[in-house]
Amino acid sequence: MTEGVPAGRDMAASKGSTLAAVAAGGAVGSLGRWGVGLLATGAVWPTLLVNVTGALTMGLLVAWLAAGERHPLVRPAVSVGLLGGWTTFSSFALDAHGLAGDGLGGLLGYLALTLGLGLGAALLGLVVGDRLWDGSASADETVTEEEL
């Protein structure tokens, strides 16, 4: 408890700061995703691009967070806010539904490509991040944090 401040007040300020960090990150990520949709052509390519780059970034972020102490607002701002706004499961599901009408081959290809590239990008981010930041801490501990 801070001197002269009631116990509940410190927690509320912390939650307010976290809320603001998530909101700011979400605004940036959502605007970025919208911009990619304007620039990229094709029905499913913008969604594939943001989801794969988001997975790569999440892998890098987890490795970076595991490598040392970071400001407590970095994790919620970037993982929940920025990457939550950047990536999109709802558009992925809608794109898959649209492709289902064109035949099973296109749908299965899109699903496999998205899952394969997304998982591969996340693992690549973890490996590259671990080498970049010489992570001695376990990324598994970072992944289990509730904000991710």
| DSSP conformation letters of 30-93 | HHHHHHHHHHS-SSSHHHHHHHHHHHHHHHHHHHHHHTS---TTHHIIIIIIIHHHH--HHHHH
Domain tally, the chain: 1
Burial level of 94, CB count in 10 A (0-12/13-18/19+)? Answer: middle
Domain contains 102: yes
Domain contains 70: yes
Q: What is the pLDDT of residue 134?
A: 80
Its pTM stands at 0.82
Domain contains 1: no
Q: What is the pLDDT of residue 6?
A: 47
Domain contains 136: yes
Q: What is the pLDDT of residue 117?
A: 98
Domain contains 24: yes
**Dihedral sign, CA of 55, 59, 60, 64?**
positive
Q: What share of the chain is helix, strand, coil (3-state, %, to 5)?
A: 75, 0, 25
Nearest to 15 by CA among 72, 59, 95, 71: 72
Q: Which residues of the chain have pLDDT under 50?
A: 1-6, 8-9, 147
Domain contains 148: no
pLDDT tens across 69-108, in order? Answer: 999 999 999 999 999 999 999 999 999 999 999 899 999 9
Q: What is the pLDDT of residue 70?
A: 92
Structural domain of residue 18, as residue ranges? 7-143
Nearest to 70 by CA among 142, 144, 146: 142
Report the distance separating Cα 76 and Cα 22, nearest Å: 6
Hey, what are 99's tokens?
A: 């492709």
Domain contains 2: no
